[in-house]
């Protein structure tokens, strides 16, 4: 009997082995078959297509189209994009330290970084770049000009620029430097014993720069609470997020687990060191653009009941990417796993593996999400980003202030304003005067500023459909009355939306004098999310209540 059982088990083992081998052979055959077809197709195109092929461009287009069917984060980066890869992970590049943009047909300096070669050599926002090292750049793209501005550290570069209010072109010579963009955009005291840090990205110095900023505030202002701003932070390196969580929780705490098809992708990240800020009360600010590593950090802090999350629901990117070399200097940034935060939940919001017939992807419905619990037993859910403990809905409307912004008119007016006003008040005290607002209103009218709202576009489409179906004459009076209300009255709309316009214009003006830090300082004055965060941190009872399950009334702040 034992012999029969043994033979039976061996037979099963052989069957499994044969089946596994068959599947592997089929997979290998299908890969070889499709590569052979592609190789033949490419050769046929090269031999018989009517025009000469740009091989690199055709191949890049082919690869991009293939990867686009997977998810937005799996991308191919050829050798000429290696600098972009380095900048994503380190925040470092060699150049003059300035952002540029396309405006009309010109390449324009949009923001020089404070303390960098561009700013030190008086390159200003609004300057139009005419030439780089004697080459006319009028027909080049932003990326092409950006490549020209970058280069080897300690090499010279010459720019010819056109400046508002100056008749003749200006020539400037810069020495390229290694530009290290600090991931901490701003830090400072925002209330009694409350510090604030804006973290823009998770590059390889994110954790150490944040630690330095918080230590400095503890030393200077004796802060006991911290607001960590992750709004608009699209993420970066997982390790940096784990290190930052480790500043606030015990050594060896599980922060995030990655799980993929390949066992190599399975890993649990634990906090590496003893906490350096174990007693700091913590509030994290998030919005719909907080993604990836931002969600690991905020989600772990929420799951571990170590702090309060305030703001909007986060983006919902629970996918992990690795960068792999693929030859000839190129790299593949490939999605290898999903990540799971301490409660066990995955926060991926979109399902890229099951696309709709039109190729679009859907958000995970709330009805299909699962409930999990934090360390203290508070209820949280998966499948759609991090839902803050204090959820804030952005009630701002897409009014005239937005359309002024997209037409770069705040930018243009600020360029003129800077030439006419040698200095302005500090960001903490700056107030746009009524006379300045009147000047801006006059400027908009002189520029014949106009726009078509989304509502008006839909109305025009409706009217065209009504004409096609012969219904326009039946509802002629109603259509006329509705159009009267929808077509904007520019002068009236400017006055009705004065507060929004003043805020955006003030930010652009402040940036000309005090750069990015000044812009942040000014915006914090009226930041509603920040005020809510401070309110929690200034009250032990309110802070503790948010971290306690509804049924538990016995907890006390330690």
Q: Give the integer Cα–Cα distance in Å for 291 and 297.
A: 10
**Annotation says 122 is catalytic:** no
Among candidate residues 254, 421, 453, 405, the one with its CA nearest the CA of residue 341:
254
Q: Do domains 92-180 and 184-391 have the same CATH topology?
A: no
**Annotation says 317 is catalytic:** yes
Residue 13 has pLDDT above 60, yes or no: no
Residue 89 has pLDDT above 90, yes or no: no
Residue 19 has pLDDT above 90, yes or no: no
Length reported for the chain: 558
Residue 340 has pLDDT above 60, yes or no: yes
What's the confidence (pLDDT) of residue 360?
A: 66
- DSSP per position, 336-378: EEEEE-TTS-B---B-SSS--TTS---BPPGGG--EEE-TT--
Integer-rounded Cα radius of gyration of the chain = 28
Domain 92-180 sits in CATH at 2.30.42.10
Q: Per the residue annotation, which of 160, 243, 281, 317 is the catalytic one? A: 317
Q: Where are the domains of the chain?
A: 29-68, 92-180, 184-391, 400-536
What's the confidence (pLDDT) of residue 558?
A: 42
The answer to whether 205 and 190 are in contact (CB under 8 A) is no
Per-residue pLDDT of 219-247, as tens digits, reads 999 999 999 999 999 999 999 999 999 99
Mean pLDDT within 127-137: 96
Percent of the chain topping pLDDT 70: 91
pLDDT band at 474 (very low <50, low <70, confident <90, very high): confident
Mean pLDDT within 86-104: 83
Q: Per the residue annotation, which of 292, 294, 343, 493 is the catalytic one? A: 292
What's the confidence (pLDDT) of residue 388?
A: 96
Mean pLDDT within 441-466: 90
- DSSP per position, 478-545: HHHHHHHHHS--HHHHHHHTHHHHHHHHHHHHHHHHHHHHHHHHHHHTT-HHHHHHHHHHT-HHHHHH
Residue 416 has pLDDT above 50, yes or no: yes
Per-residue pLDDT of 322-335, as tens digits, reads 888 988 888 999 99
Residue 539 has pLDDT above 60, yes or no: yes
> Which 3 state secondary structure label does DSSP give 421?
coil
Q: What is the 3-state secondary structure (H, E, C) of 272-291?
A: CCCCCCCCCEEEEEECCCCC
Both tokens of residue 1?
């009997």
For the chain, the average pLDDT equals 90
DSSP 79: G
What's the confidence (pLDDT) of residue 423?
A: 95
What's the confidence (pLDDT) of residue 476?
A: 87
What's the confidence (pLDDT) of residue 8?
A: 46
CATH class of domain segment(s) 184-391: alpha beta
pLDDT band at 85 (very low <50, low <70, confident <90, very high): low
Residue 265 has pLDDT above 90, yes or no: no
Per-residue pLDDT of 352-403, as tens digits, reads 777 766 666 677 777 778 899 999 999 999 988 999 999 998 777 789 999 9
**Annotation says 480 is catalytic:** no
CA distances (Å), 504 to each of 122, 265, 451, 510, in order? Answer: 24, 44, 18, 10
Mean pLDDT within 287-296: 95
Mean pLDDT within 141-169: 93
Per-residue pLDDT of 43-62, as tens digits, reads 999 999 999 999 989 989 99
């Amino acid at each position: 009997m034992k012999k029969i059982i043994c033979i039976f088990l061996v037979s099963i083992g052989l069957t499994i082995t044969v089946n596994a081998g068959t599947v592997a052979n089929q997979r290998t055959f299908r890969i070889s078959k499709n590569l052979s077809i592609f190789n033949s197709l490419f050769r046929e195109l090269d031999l018989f297509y009517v025009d000469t092929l740009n091989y690199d461009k055709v191949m890049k287009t082919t690869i991009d189209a293939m990867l686009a069917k997977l998810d937005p984060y799996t991308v191919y980066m050829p050798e000429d994009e290696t600098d972009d890869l380095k900048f994503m992970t380190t925040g470092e590049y060699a150049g003059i330290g300035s952002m540029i943009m396309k405006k009309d047909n010109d390449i324009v300096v949009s923001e020089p970084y404070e303390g960098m070669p561009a700013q030190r050599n008086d390159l200003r926002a609004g300057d139009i770049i005419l030439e780089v090292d004697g080459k006319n750049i009028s027909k080049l793209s932003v990326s092409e000009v950006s490549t020209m501005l970058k280069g080897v550290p300690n090499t010279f570069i010459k720019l010819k620029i056109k400046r508002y209010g100056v008749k003749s072109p200006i020539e400037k010579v810069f020495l390229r430097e290694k530009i290290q963009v600090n991931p901490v955009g701003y830090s400072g005291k925002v209330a009694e014993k409350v510090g604030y840090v804006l973290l823009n990205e998770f590059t390889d110095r994110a954790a150490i720069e944040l630690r330095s900023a918080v230590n400095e505030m503890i030393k200077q202002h004796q802060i006991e609470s911290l607001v960590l701003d992750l709004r608009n932070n699209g993420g970066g390196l997982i390790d940096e997020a784990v290190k930052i969580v480790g500043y606030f929780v015990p050594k060896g705490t599980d922060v995030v687990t990655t799980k993929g098809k390949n066992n190599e992708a399975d890993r649990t990240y634990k906090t590496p060191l003893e906490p350096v800020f174990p007693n700091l009360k913590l509030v994290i600010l998030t919005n719909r653009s907080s993604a990836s590593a931002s969600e690991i950090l905020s989600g772990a802090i929420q799951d571990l009941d170590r702090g309060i999350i305030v703001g909007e629901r986060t983006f919902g990117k629970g996918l992990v990417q690795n960068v792999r070399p693929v030859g000839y200097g190129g790299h593949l940034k490939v999605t290898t796993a999903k990540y799971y935060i301490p409660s066990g939940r995955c926060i991926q919001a979109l399902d890229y593996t099951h696309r709709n017939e039109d190729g679009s992807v859907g958000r995970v419905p709330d009805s299909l999400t699962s409930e999990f619990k934090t360390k203290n037993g508070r209820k949280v859910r998966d499948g759609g980003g991090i839902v803050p403990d204090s959820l804030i809905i952005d009630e701002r409307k897409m009014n005239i202030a937005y359309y002024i912004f997209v037409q770069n008119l705040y930018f243009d007016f600020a360029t003129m304003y800077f030439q006419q006003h040698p200095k302005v008040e500090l960001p903490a005290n700056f107030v746009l005067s009524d006379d300045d607002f009147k000047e801006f209103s006059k400027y908009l009218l002189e520029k014949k500023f106009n726009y078509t709202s989304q509502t008006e576009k839909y109305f025009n489409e409706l009217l065209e459909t009504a004409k096609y179906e012969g219904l326009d004459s039946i509802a002629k009076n109603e259509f006329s009355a509705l159009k009267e209300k929808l077509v904007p009255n520019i002068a009236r709309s400017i006055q009705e939306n004065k507060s929004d316009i003043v805020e955006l214009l003030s930010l652009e003006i402040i940036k000309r004098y005090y750069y990015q830090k000044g812009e942040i300082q000014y915006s914090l004055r009226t930041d509603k999310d920040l005020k809510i965060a401070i309110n929690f941190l200034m009250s032990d009872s309110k802070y503790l209540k948010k971290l306690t399950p509804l049924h538990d009334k016995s907890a006390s702040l330690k």
